[in-house]
Structure 1
Amino acid sequence: MDLAAKLALYGNSAKPEAKQSPVTPEKQGRLNPAGDDVRYGDANANAATDGVIEEKPAKEIPNDQDPGVTRPGQSLTFDNISLEPLGDGLYFRQIRFHSLELGGASLQKLLGQPMQYLDDLLPSGPRLSQAPGMVHRDEVLFLDTETTGLSRGPGNFPFLYGLAWFEGSSLVFEQYFLDGPGAEDRFHTRLSELLTSFGAICTYNGKSFDIPVIRNRFVLLGERFRAPPIHLDLYHFWKSMFGGYSRKKGPGKNDVLSSSASASASASASSSSSSVGGQRRASATPKSVEKRSFRQMDMERDVLGFVREDDLPGAQVPQVYFDYRKYARKERMAQVLHHNELDLQGLALLFLRAVAVVDERRNQEDLFRSGIARMFWRHGKAEEAKRILEELHSYGNYEESLLYSDRRLLALILKKRGQYESAFQIHRRLFEKYHCMHSCLEVARFQEKKERDIRAALGTVKSGLAFLEFRGADTESRIFKDLQKRRKRLQASVSEES
């Protein structure tokens, strides 16, 4: 389908002439009766969509002749999923999960952990009207969207919104389906009202995608999107827990850390592969790989021990929606709604695991403790980061690649805090053991500026250059040129002394 055909899909969806107050269905919102899983407009949300869908092009049918087109005021049904109308092409369903298990992660067990505040997950400094520790888990709104494209521009239309939050011992899930852009005005009113009840928003890569897309759609309608003051993006949190880059045991040609994903082991969510509630549990056996993917489903596998089965790939979602709008093909839309539901379930449990990891950092494996230290450092909590790194540094026997990069970070923190002698000792060992060229420069600086030993500094620089030349390093690299300049200047200083 070309761009013109896709744009034509929106021709029949007129925007309402005037903004109207939203029609809230009975039992909608954050107040719901207790009991078993409560599902509004959902006949059987757990049932899987089986069968292979033919990809033959369907004949285009006019809306007024197609018996499958939903009339205004009617429920909208996709296979076993039913959504209630809110008006103007906006449809809604709600599920209350009292029990939920994904792989080895249980909602009830994670909700029972003692730490329920977000202070350690957030940057330090005055950024809220209230104290950061006062943001409770029940004040976090989880959000995920399904859109018609992968760009962040205003032409990308979010047609499905998944929202969730904790209420007591339950997870409340709401899903809003926009049957065309004409439903946006009504939904934006509902979303704006809902956001005022929360102090934080949680997404997975939402800082880079979901929130910019939503903000652009608000601007397109002449509105302003007011998000909660705190945005916790779990993509960045879990990426930092697993390293986010390959830590090298020794220097490369120019001693620069690779930007590829971490080669660290996966989290120990479960120790073997088994079946829980009809879902396959993933083995959390540590794997050593060159690159790591940080998609949400990968973190669900590595952290929760959950592997999605028969899930619709996210890349296929836009085409399924276009087929529904143009050809009234509804057979795969249930998979889109189920995919979004899984995203919200996984997001909520990954959030609870993040809280547990940080709260129990003294009992976590070294991989996570290293990641927590780096997170604290980025958030401006240098003292917390220093304390963790010093504990790891004192062991001296944990994974070699972690030891190398963590010692570099510890030396950086010590130097910034004015503990130059301690930082020098760490850099000296890194240079001697790993031939780290950044540490070579730091050692030479300390010897020249603090110890006033120019000859020792010159010897260190010559040793570093000799190693780089032996390894065939790029002579145009910054580190090589820096060492050459320093050697030239130090040689001149030695000549003057003589």
Structure 2
Amino acid sequence: MSGLREKLGRLRSSGSSGVPTPPTDTTASAEPVEALEKRTIQTEVPELSPEFQQIGVELKQNEAGQFLLRTIEYPLPYRHGKHELTDLLECASHLSAIAMRQNRQNQPETIEPRRLLFLDTETTGLGVGTGNVPFMIGFGYYTDRAFIVEQTLIRNPGEERAMLTYLLEHMKDKTHLVTYNGRTFDWPVLVNRFILNGWRQSGQEPGHLDFLHPSRALWRNTLPSCRLSMVEEARLGIQRGHDVPGSLAPALYFQYLSDGNASHLHGVYAHNEKDILTLASLSVHFGLLLSGVPDPDTIQTTEGEELFRTASWLELHGVTEEAERLYALLSGMDDDVAYGSGWPLALAARHKRAGRHDRALPLWRKWAEIAENSAVPKLDAHVELAIYYEHRDKQLLMALTYAEKALELAHRRARLHSDAAKRKEEKESLQHRVLRLRDKVSRERK
């Protein structure tokens, strides 16, 4: 993918939906320009307060005006949580599988660490409409010797265009944005602000690596939530200590606008900075998973549900060898507690689709045993065993035994559920199976 600046020279059509193109002719469209002029008139502002200077914030100036900038440099190697950020230099290419799916590409996309922009915004609201303003845009990137975090901030609406101009300058040689829910939130919010500030939409959108979706695929059933703060603590070993929640950022910004005390924003800066570092660490985590060399300690201590989700996710992204290793590991598990989560049935179904009934049978048998001793039994394993013994192993008595047990469990479960119609249909189907099998067994004995 070429640099985003190169794309700005292409497709100058306002009807396309790509990256923004800075306006070069301020007379091209009267109404937007009038609005733009009102927004970009520079008013006299006070000197930068000591509260800003205390955390390294500087006043920046470009052709579009003023804004505030804070820059933090993390010399490499640098560890954030359990991952060295330099590890991304070795495994970044494996993230191509995620980029292909998220960007709907048929060909692998080149992922090079120095051409990634790790992006996180702090906004005045939660929606993606035009009234939501990103008052802080934080982004990180790799250089030869460091990981750099830059945080821009506006003190009034007249500084927004200068901030966006600075962001575009940093996007010009980047191929992908790395975010957490950025495809549906951060980027659409920014696109709206570009348009309102006079830019046209043009060319192809930047590539996306949005790690919210892989996180949900792996951890939606094993973590209380897939918020970034939860993921980083539970799976990346990152302890923030005192941290300003992102939900409080708008209120703290408005408090700063009200009284001019920049100390209200110190926690917002720290929160945004850590989010960007976590995006880099999460990139390493998924890069290592997709490279087939996940952390062995993590694999050994991970519960079955997450191992199954990980294996399914790896298989989906073409890492079949590592996926098969995890599937084999799961097939050998003997943990009654783990069976309560439901992954063994999903794993057995996967083995069945692959024609590996030898691997599916132990899982069905184990699940059937647990179901018979459960207060709210599930019938799936009994039904699958009845089907297997009738149609593949040709042991009709065994098939009938499992079908009759499934019908018994169905009667027990019907007493516990209010969905009478569904339970009636379930029982009728099992009754039909039992009668058919009894007839087969009777005819076989004659």
Is the pair's TM-score, using the shorter chain for normalization, greater than 0.5? yes
SS of structure 2 residue aligned to 1:118? helix
Q: Is contact 1:188-1:218 (8 Å) kept? A: yes
Q: Indicate which of 267, 270, 279 corresponds to 1:347.
A: 279
Q: d(CA) in 2 for partners of 1:479 and 1:464?
A: 15
Specify whether residues 455 and 118 from structure 1 end up closer, same or farther in structure 2 by C-alpha distance, changes over 3 A only.
same
Q: Match of 2:243, SS?
A: coil
Deviation at 1:171, TM superposition (A): 0.3
2:291 corresponds to 1:361? no
- The one of 423, 426, 431 aligned to 2:360: 423
Aligned residue number for residue 47 of structure 1: none
User: Are the aligned partners of 1:431 and 1:439 in contact in 2 as well (CA < 8 Å)?
Assistant: yes
Paired letter, 2:386: A
Q: Alignment partner for residue 230 of structure 1, among 208, 215, 231?
A: 208
How far apart, CA to CA, are the structure 2 residues paired with 1:477 and 1:89? Answer: 67
Code of the residue aligned with 1:341 in structure 2: it is: E
Pairwise CA RMSD = 4.0
Contact 1:321 1:333 in 2 (8 A): yes
Contact kept? 1:120, 1:358, Cα under 8 Å: no
Q: What is the CA–CA distance in structure 1 between the aligned matches of 2:392 and 2:356, rounded to whole Å?
A: 12
- Displacement of 1:160 after TM fit? 0.6
Could you tell me which amino acid in structure 2 is paired with residue 411 of structure 1?
A
- Residues 1:201 and 1:478: Cα distance change in structure 2 (over 3 Å): farther
Structure 1 residue corresponding to 2:72, chosen from 95, 101, 111: 95
Structure 1 segment 174-185 matched on structure 2, within 5 A? 174-185=150-161
Letter aligned with residue 98 of structure 1:
P
SS in 2 for 1:209: helix
* Length, aligned pairs only: 388
TM-score, length-scaled by structure 2: 0.71
Residue 405 of structure 1, CA deviation: 4.4
SS at match of 1:386: helix
Among 383, 386, 405, the alignment partner of 1:463 is 405
Question: Residue 440 of structure 1 is aligned with which of 382, 385, 392?
Answer: 382
Residues 278-298 of structure 1: per-residue CA shift (max 9 Å, x gap): xxxxxxxxxxxxx62433233
Structure 1 Cα separation of the partners of residues 171 and 78 of structure 2: 27
Matched letter for residue 409 of structure 1: A
Q: Tell me the amino acid that sits aligned with residue 181 of structure 2.
A: N
Structure 1 counterpart of 2:324: 386
Deviation at 1:314, TM superposition (A): 1.9
When residues 183 and 434 of structure 1 are mapped into structure 2, their CA distance, relative to the original with a 3 A threshold, is farther
Matched letter for residue 464 of structure 1: A
The CA distance in 1 between the partners of 2:88 and 2:129, in whole Å, is 41
Residue 328 of structure 2 aligns to a residue whose secondary structure is helix
Aligned counterpart in structure 1 of residue 344 of structure 2, from 407, 414, 420 = 407
Partner Cα separation in structure 1 for residue 74 and residue 175 of structure 2: 22
What SS does structure 2 have at the residue aligned with 1:115?
Answer: helix
Q: Does the 8 A contact of 1:15 with 1:183 survive in 2?
A: no
Contact 2:97–2:108, Cα closer than 8 Å, also in 1: no
TM-score (norm 1): 0.64
| Identity, % of aligned positions | 23
User: Would the aligned equivalents of 1:139 and 1:200 in 2 still touch at CA under 8 Å?
Assistant: yes
1:160-175 paired onto structure 2 within 5 Å = 160-175=136-151
CA positional deviation for 1:75: 5.4
The aligned amino acid for 1:237 is: P
Q: Which runs of 5+ in 2 are unaligned?
A: 1-33, 373-377
CA deviations over 1:395-444 (Å, ceiling 9, x no partner): x3578517964433332222333445643553243223445423333333
Q: CA 1:496–1:154 in structure 2 vs 1: closer, same or farther (change >3 Å)?
A: farther
Which structure features the higher share of helix residues?
2
* Unmatched runs of 5 consecutive residues or more in structure 1: 1-13, 21-62, 246-261, 263-290
